[in-house]
Amino acid sequence: MKKKFLFFIIFIFILSAIFLITFSPLTLSAYPKLVSKLVSGFESIKGWIIKIATPAAAVAVRYRNFYEKI
């Protein structure tokens, strides 16, 4: 009888822990300070890469057309 009671208590504890972890109403959609800084940093890096890559792509297209004409 004591083993069944102990098993029941442990089972309820584990089940409640799973439900708390799974259905926890945390603010997962909100950006914390660190995440927002990282996102803004990556967005600025993306902008820099686009600014650098655009003239390089234009030069590559120009030289490709030049070499096709030769």
pLDDT score for 19: 82
pLDDT score for 65: 56
> What secondary structure, in 3-state letters, does the chain show?
CHHHHHHHHHHHHHHHHHHHHHCCCCCCCCCCHHHHHHHHHHHHHHHHHHHHHHHHHHHHHHHHHHHHHC
- Tell me the pLDDT tens digit for each residue of 6-16: 899 999 999 98
What share of the chain in percent tops pLDDT 70? 67
- Residues of the chain falling short of pLDDT 50: 70
φ, ψ of residue 62 to 5 degrees: the values are -65, -45
- Whether this prediction's pTM lies above 0.85 is answered by no
Alpha-carbon Rg for the chain, nearest whole angstrom, is 29
pLDDT score for 66: 56
